[in-house]
Amino acid sequence: MQPFAAARILDLTRGVTGPYATKLLASLGANVIKVEQPHSGDPSRAMGPFPNDTPHSEASGLFHYLNAGKRSVTTELNSATGRSLIAALAQWAHIVVEDFPPGHLTTLGLGFDHLAAMNPSVILASITPFGHTGPYSSFAATEGVLEAMGGTMIGNGTSDREPYKYPEHVMEFYAGSAVAVAIAAPLYGVLFTGTHAPVHLDMSVMESYLASADRRAAALLAYQYTGELMMKRRQVGELRVGHGIRRCKDGYISIHAGGPRLPRLLAMLGEESGKQLPTIAEARTEEGRSRIEEVLWQWLGEHTRDEVWEAALRHKVPLAPVRTPMDIAAARRSQDKSVTLELPPFEARPGYWSHARGPRLGEHNRLVYGGLLGITPGEQMLLRRAGVM
Amino acid sequence: MPPATFALPLRNVRVVELTTVWAGPFTSSLLADWGAEVIRVESTRNLLGGRGPVLAPNAAMVNSLRAGGEFYFAYPNWEAGERPWNRCVVFQVHGKDKRSVTLELTEPEGMSAFEDLLLTCDMLVVNLAPDSLDALGLTYERLRRVKPDLIMVRIAAFGHTGKAKQARGLGAEAEAHAGFTALRGHSEVDLLFKDNVAFADAAGSMSAALGAISALVQRAQDGKGQLIDISLSDAVVSLLAPALLDAAMNNRAQTPLGNAHSAMAPHGCYPCKGDDRWLFIAVRNDGDWRNLCEAIGHPAWTRAQALQSAFGRLRNRQTIDEHLADWTRSHDAHALMSLLQGCGVPAGVLMNERDVVESPHIAERGFFLPLRHRETGSHLYPGTFWKSTPPVTRIVRAPCELGEDNDWVYKNLLGALESTYAGLLRRKLVGTTPQS
């Protein structure tokens, strides 16, 4: 049995962040019913990558990755009949996850008060860029805007040019992983501690970045300690001995062997290169530092990433090859692992994670509406004809 | 009548943490946010680097940290004080709502106290190097004999199996190994410069917290413990799925895009008035473009036929960027954000620390928790990213001082005899001051 096998989630989210959160729980066994707009479905169905670059609404790699193991039903939220289906599913669910603009669910007659009246133990989890309150709550957002306002973008890159955004979707995925944690904890409460009220969780993606362990939270406290702005871009050419990214024979490596770790770097370089290196005391001088870097650059230039990593393993030097997604895909193939579905963010005992494809649009209409809600085939026909499903 | 408050779901869960910096302590911090009682196990002989760069930095060292931009090693007013280990940002930022007990795992009495402590707890969170865990005898196989239903969450840069077991690395190395480093930046040139952030630690702490909670859910059903293994690298790989899928499906090697976007232009950082002030602007569609042109006042360049379609804007991205930057340069970033957002155009200031601390929005959200600490004074601590209705009522403790809860743990939790505890204190196996 998987951990969340008893959990029931009604998922009204679209795109990347919300679907990634519920995908993590679906892969851990949760029953997730995903509600999509008839005909068009989740916008991620139109986003690549597609196999062989051939777009098809049932073939989006992104959609399948984000919706693996969920059940898809279609419902028109702009019709009263469609909304009644959502209301019925909200009574089945332990938790309803949504990412509409603040207030939208209330105007549909499906706000927290409505849901709580129907399901007195419901958890409503709302995901919005800036939260449901405050002056920014009505702001328009994209991933880049959120990264600028809540992330560490001001510190990305070098001081000679403008800061840069992280690769596409990465911070949306990160926010999704934060939301998964924020959903998992109350699910544990509903399922096993038994004591809870109906709860509305108002989550802000911007705040999930501000609170994060990527140094932003630390910078916010450091600013109050010192009055200094320190989350800024580094100078071009800035070099700390034994620390940073360096070129080697077939690519790059990342090394973190300055300061207290310098003795290990000196031991490794001495043994591997056979060259005379400065002592720890000499390493504090400008001359000593240049000498270490000189030997390091030369040694790296003669060795591949793998050779360098092997040496680092022997000498316990913090170091890693800079791999590309192509390298990772190749490594996974060589281990007979799927590149497309099996990327669990942690490891546990066998059977803990499940791997599946995403659902076809409305694939589970009959199962959910017929089996779960008891809507007769005749009534389903009516819904189809009215464009509700 | 529904209860007036939201009872935190992990309120009956007790966590022991044996961690150094970032991913480990942030994992237990996330669990504390949901109500778990977290007890931090520390040593007065070896503080593991988590409470500052060194035990007693002198003024020259503090100045060099300051000059090097190492803000996470900042002390209030850059004064290390008499007890620097209770004042450094790297600890204080995650130390709230935790208790601290000291014991020496390398001494029999210390290991025995640790095992007794484990028996009173549900979970152990560790982020020591895998071979250090083995050397201390803290293997899952041994600890589960002490406590059969133990949940152990262990975090390492590259995981705990195979070659990676010997490997050493920090967040930056995990990012490199995961393919993230090769994708970030304006171009390959940026590869050579490290950012002063560590995305892998953030990704790893979220994965670990999800692993921890799912293991609690599992144990509530079958009564069994669980080992959860976190590789910071794998945690980042799982967030890079689109690039991996592209590699797998189309054999395409994605490269750094900087601020370019596959479907949006303009899209990027535009300079504003003042030192290092920038506004991020993203035009999603024709409607955003019309609104942006309206906000700028329809200068001649915006009227070019080529720019009226998404394709045209993508093709002429550079020209748009130059014109747009000419306009933004003479404006205040916050004023411009208000202007563009007022027209419905996605725009956001690249917020620095001051912007966030002084933001009226963040204040109204109640994101920061005001806490008073005996050694550092009153500050606003980053809080949770969720608010609940009904609200949570709880008192959050200021960051724990080293060994602050020794009495409580040894006497109340472990039931140590007064004479035994006095002996441990006398022999410096328990204390509140580092020994070297």
Distance between CA atoms of residues A5 and A24, nearest Å: 13
Least confident of A98-112, A113-127, A231-245, B67-81: A231-245
Which candidate from B173, B183, B197 shows the least CB-CB separation from A167?
B183
Average pLDDT over chain B reads 94
Instruction: Report which of A152, A176, A32, A337 is spatially closest to residue B72, judged by C-alpha positions.
Output: A152
Confidence category of residue B54, pLDDT binned at 50, 70, 90: confident
In chain B, residues under CATH classification 3.30.1540.10 are 267-271+277-351
pLDDT of A169 > 70? The answer is yes
Least confident of A231-240, B23-32, B61-70, B176-185: A231-240
Which candidate from A154, A170, A225 shows the least CB-CB separation from B75?
A225
Predicted local distance difference test score (pLDDT) of residue A340: 62
Instruction: Report which of B246, B264, B275, B261 is spatially closest to residue B352, judged by C-alpha positions.
Output: B275
Structural contact between residues B153 and B230, judged by C-beta atoms closer than 8 angstroms: yes
B321 φψ region: left (φ > 0), alpha (ψ -120 to 50), beta (else): alpha
- In Å, how far are A94, A159, A343, B222 from B207, measured between CA atoms? 23, 32, 12, 22
Chain B residues whose beta carbon lies within 8 Å of the beta carbon of residue A210:
356, 362, 367, 382, 385
- B82 CB neighbour count, 10 Å cutoff: 10
**Structural Rg of chain A based on CA atoms:** 26
The torsion angle over the Cα atoms of residues A273, A276, A281 and A282, rounded to 10 degrees, is -110
Structural contact between residues B321 and B259, judged by C-beta atoms closer than 8 angstroms: no
Q: How far apart are the first and last CA of chain B?
A: 58
Question: CB A322 to CB B181 under 8 A?
Answer: yes
Which residues constitute the domain of residue A369?
A: 8-214+359-385
Residue B143: partners with Cβ closer than 8 Å, 6 or more residues away: B118, B124, B150, B152
Instruction: Report which of A262, A167, A26, A257 is spatially closest to residue B178, judged by C-alpha positions.
Output: A167
Q: What is the DSSP letter of A29?
A: T
Q: Write out residues 198-217 of A within 8 Å (CB-CB) of B.
A: 198-205, 207-208, 210-217
Is residue A227 assigned to a domain?
A: no
Distance between CA atoms of residues A5 and A120, nearest Å: 22
Which candidate from B176, B209, B227 shows the least CB-CB separation from A322?
B176
Chain A residues whose beta carbon lies within 8 Å of the beta carbon of residue B195:
152, 155-157, 234
- In Å, how far are A91, B31, B50, B140, B208 from B21, measured between CA atoms? 43, 16, 5, 21, 14
Suggest the residue from B34, B154, B206, B375 to mutate for an interface test with chain A (most A CBs closer than 10 A): B206
In chain B, residues under CATH classification 3.40.50.10540 are 6-238+363-426
- In Å, how far are A75, A305, A334, B411 from B244, measured between CA atoms? 32, 20, 15, 53
What mean pLDDT do residues B114-135 have? Answer: 94
Question: CB A174 to CB B268 under 8 A?
Answer: no
Amino acid present at B405? D
Question: CB A217 to CB B185 under 8 A?
Answer: no
Whether A96 and A207 share a structural domain: yes
Query: pLDDT (tens digit, 9 = 90+) per residue, A5-52?
Result: 999 999 999 999 999 999 999 999 999 999 999 999 999 999 989 999
Chain B residues whose beta carbon lies within 8 Å of the beta carbon of residue A180:
206, 210
Whether A61 and A143 share a structural domain: yes
What are the tokens at A11? Answer: 């998922």
Whether A92 has its CB under 8 Å from any CB of chain B: the answer is no
Question: CB A181 to CB B206 under 8 A?
Answer: yes
Question: What's the CATH architecture for B6-238+363-426?
Answer: 3-Layer(aba) Sandwich (3.40)
What are the tokens at A256? Answer: 């973190």
> Taking CA atoms, what residue in A is nearest to B237?
A343
Whether A160 and A17 share a structural domain: yes
pLDDT of B150 > 90? The answer is yes
The torsion angle over the Cα atoms of residues B62, B68, B73 and B78, rounded to 10 degrees, is 40
What are the tokens at B56? Answer: 């007693």
Q: Write out residues 118-157 of A within 8 Å (CB-CB) of B.
A: 120, 130-131, 133-137, 139-142, 144-150, 152-157
* Residue A269 burial class via C-beta count within 10 angstroms: exposed 0-12, middle 13-18, buried 19 and up: buried
Whether A130 and A273 share a structural domain: no
Is residue A24 assigned to a domain?
A: yes
Is residue A351 assigned to a domain?
A: no
Confidence category of residue B1, pLDDT binned at 50, 70, 90: very low
Beta-sheet strands, E only, within B73-168: 98-102, 123-126, 151-156
pLDDT of B398 > 70? The answer is yes
Whether A111 has its CB under 8 Å from any CB of chain B: the answer is no
CB pairs under 8 A between A and B: 511
Distance between CA atoms of residues B277 and A162, nearest Å: 10
Predicted local distance difference test score (pLDDT) of residue A94: 96
pLDDT of B165 > 60? The answer is yes
Distance between CA atoms of residues A284 and B15, nearest Å: 42
Structural contact between residues A214 and B201, judged by C-beta atoms closer than 8 angstroms: yes
pLDDT of B38 > 90? The answer is yes
pLDDT of A367 > 70? The answer is yes
Whether A221 has its CB under 8 Å from any CB of chain B: the answer is yes
What mean pLDDT do residues B204-221 have? Answer: 97
Q: What are φ and ψ of residue A125, in 5° steps?
A: -110, 115
Residue B296: partners with Cβ closer than 8 Å, 6 or more residues away: B302, B327
Confidence category of residue A356, pLDDT binned at 50, 70, 90: confident
Question: CB A164 to CB B365 under 8 A?
Answer: no
Instruction: Give the CATH number of the domain where residue A98 resides.
Output: 3.40.50.10540
Whether A90 and A50 share a structural domain: yes
Chain A residues whose beta carbon lies within 8 Å of the beta carbon of residue B254:
167, 325
Whether A69 and A208 share a structural domain: yes
Is residue A67 assigned to a domain?
A: yes
- In Å, how far are A127, A207, B366 from A204, measured between CA atoms? 6, 5, 12
Question: CB B242 to CB A148 under 8 A?
Answer: no
Chain A residues whose beta carbon lies within 8 Å of the beta carbon of residue B208:
346
% of chain A with per-residue pLDDT over 70: 98
> Taking CA atoms, what residue in B is nearest to A192?
B220
Number of domains in chain A: 2
Amino acid present at A317? V
H or E element, residue B396: none
Whether A259 and A127 share a structural domain: no
Suggest the residue from B46, B197, B288 to mutate for an interface test with chain A (most A CBs closer than 10 A): B197
Predicted TM-score (pTM) of the model is 0.97
Residue that terminates a domain, selected from A299, A318, A334: A334
Whether A298 and A156 share a structural domain: no
Structural contact between residues A127 and A141, judged by C-beta atoms closer than 8 angstroms: no
Distance between A63 CA and the closest CA of chain B, angstroms: 10
pLDDT of B193 > 80? The answer is no
Instruction: Give the CATH number of the domain where residue A264 resides.
Output: 3.30.1540.10
Is residue A352 assigned to a domain?
A: no
What mean pLDDT do residues B1-11 have? Answer: 79
CATH of domain B267-271+277-351: 3.30.1540.10
Structural contact between residues A152 and B198, judged by C-beta atoms closer than 8 angstroms: no
What mean pLDDT do residues A269-292 have? Answer: 91
Chain position carrying tokens 């569609």: B285
Whether A26 and A129 share a structural domain: yes
Confidence category of residue A195, pLDDT binned at 50, 70, 90: low
Whether A322 and A184 share a structural domain: no
What mean pLDDT do residues A242-256 have? Answer: 93
pLDDT of B2 > 70? The answer is no
Suggest the residue from B245, B290, B336 to mutate for an interface test with chain A (most A CBs closer than 10 A): B245
pLDDT of B196 > 80? The answer is no
Distance between B399 CA and the closest CA of chain A, angstroms: 12
Chain position carrying tokens 């193939």: A333
pLDDT of A79 > 80? The answer is yes
Predicted local distance difference test score (pLDDT) of residue B394: 82
The three-point CA angle A271-A274-A280 to 5° equals 65
